[in-house]
Amino acid sequence: MRVIMDARTVSDRFPGIGRYVVSLAGALRTVAPELSLTLLCEGQEPAGRLALPDLPRIACPASPSGLRQQWKVRSALRQSEAEVYHSPFYRMPYLPGIPTVLTVYDFIPLVCPADYTAGQRLIYRAAHALALRAARAVVTISRASAADLARFFRIDPERVMVTPLAAAPHFRPQAPAAISAASRKYRLPQDYALFLASNKPHKNLFRLIESWPEVVRRLPEARLVVAGHWDPRYERPRARAAELGLEGSVHFAGPVAEEDLPALYGGAAAFIFPSVYEGFGLPVLEAMACGTPVICSNTSSLPEVAGHAALLIDPTNTPALAAAICRLLSDADLRAGLRSRSLAQAATFSWERTALGTLAAYRAALGQAGHLTPG
């Protein structure tokens, strides 16, 4: 098969989708060396912290968010003589001209409508409808997302393949020297719980901040590190921390370099991920792969990812969140047990498995396989 994978989202602007493309492309090269895989790039070399694997590339100077991609990408696909086009983003050419596989991840504006305007939700829904119409096969990353896909768009389940994600190989238990170096670099407190995500409302950082005074009341030495991309549109969590007088117990570390993430996870006494909704929740799996005990929500895809290796909480219940944090931070035996289970749980996921499922979607798009099933 000659496949073109759209890699124009491999940039710091699309951190999650970019990581998906890089990891999947590398795994496809491993599990299917006979596959002719070419990457479609906006320029010759993507900008940002992610590096593409060494695969053939074609340049298409059109933004994945721009109108001109509607004819530029179609032209590039035609000239390449590709048999399958794989778009990892719903903003894509809606008349690609060749059999197409689309990856969808989550449906945040539809699940959490209060965080978006009516116009934003309308555009989001319309763009997804066009992309789903263009695709012969659809890949999604969890059974929960597959259920949402059927609920919001009534798509035939036989067109859907569920391909869970995995932590990259560099997410593994870290040496003390690496943890110490990261701690110095980001000026981290001695012992800390970690929140690593953006500050978008559905990540539920505001509620975590709300829970922290109770944690500090019960465990005065408890410290919270908040790391990840900070969107200036959503300043409420930082403002609330100041209102609650948490400057000494909550540390806002900001963005963290890719190479430092494993040490940041590895140095944490606990990873806290109270997100209201996730298509997959890759940070949970990354933390587990580093051997870090996890507290996460019991909603959407997160129970699929965490299994029995995490403390699951209701993300809308602030007292329950505070109680779980205090329980984990004060119980060394519980942390040790979760650490062991976390490593075992993370090992059940692999990008090779993701790649094999994606290959099945490529074959289905070409009519070379039976129907797909979301399971």
Give the Å distances, CA to CA, from 231 to 81, 234, 271, 273, 276.
40, 6, 21, 18, 18
Q: Amino acid identity, residue 347?
A: A
Question: pLDDT (tens digit, 9 = 90+) per residue, 212-246?
Answer: 999 999 999 999 999 998 999 999 999 999 999 99
Pairing mode of beta strands 84-87, 160-162: unpaired
**Reduced 3-state DSSP string for 225-282:** EEECCCCCCCCHHHHHHHHCCCCCCEEEEECCCHHHHHHHHHCCCEEEECCCCCCCCH
Question: pLDDT (tens digit, 9 = 90+) per residue, 137-181?
Answer: 999 999 999 999 999 998 988 899 999 999 999 999 999 999 999
Copy the structure tokens of residue 203: 């990540």
Q: Which residues make Cβ contacts (< 8 Å) with residue 332, sequence separation at least 6?
A: none
**Reduced 3-state DSSP string for 51-75:** CCCCCCEEECCCCCCCCCHHHHHHH
- Is 70 exceeded by the pLDDT of residue 373? no
The SS3 call for residue 84 is strand
Q: How far apart are CA 56 and CA 111, in angstroms?
A: 38
Residue 241: the pLDDT is: 97
Question: pLDDT (tens digit, 9 = 90+) per residue, 307-349?
Answer: 999 999 999 999 999 999 999 999 999 999 999 999 999 999 9
- pLDDT, averaged across the chain: 94
Copy the structure tokens of residue 209: 């901040």
Domains contained in the chain, CATH given = 2-166+350-365 (3.40.50.2000), 176-346 (3.40.50.2000)
- Is 90 exceeded by the pLDDT of residue 258? no
Spatial CA neighbour of 358 closest among 157, 98, 146, 88: 88
Spatial CA neighbour of 286 closest among 274, 294, 278: 294
Q: How far apart are CA 302 and CA 10, in angstroms?
A: 25
- Is 90 exceeded by the pLDDT of residue 45? no
Which residue in the block uniquely carries the two structure tokens 């507290």? 295
Q: What is the DSSP string of 311-328?
A: EEE-TT-HHHHHHHHHHH
Copy the structure tokens of residue 31: 């599990």
275, with CB counted inside 10 A (0-12, 13-18, 19+), is buried
Least confident of 19-23, 99-103, 342-346: 19-23
Contact (Cβ atoms closer than 8 angstroms) between residue 54 and residue 37: no
Which residue in the block uniquely carries the two structure tokens 């940002």? 48
**CA-derived radius of gyration, the chain:** 21
Contact (Cβ atoms closer than 8 angstroms) between residue 25 and residue 39: yes
Alpha-carbon torsion 334, 340, 342, 344, what sign?
negative
Least confident of 6-15, 30-39, 137-146: 6-15
What global pTM score does this model have?
0.91
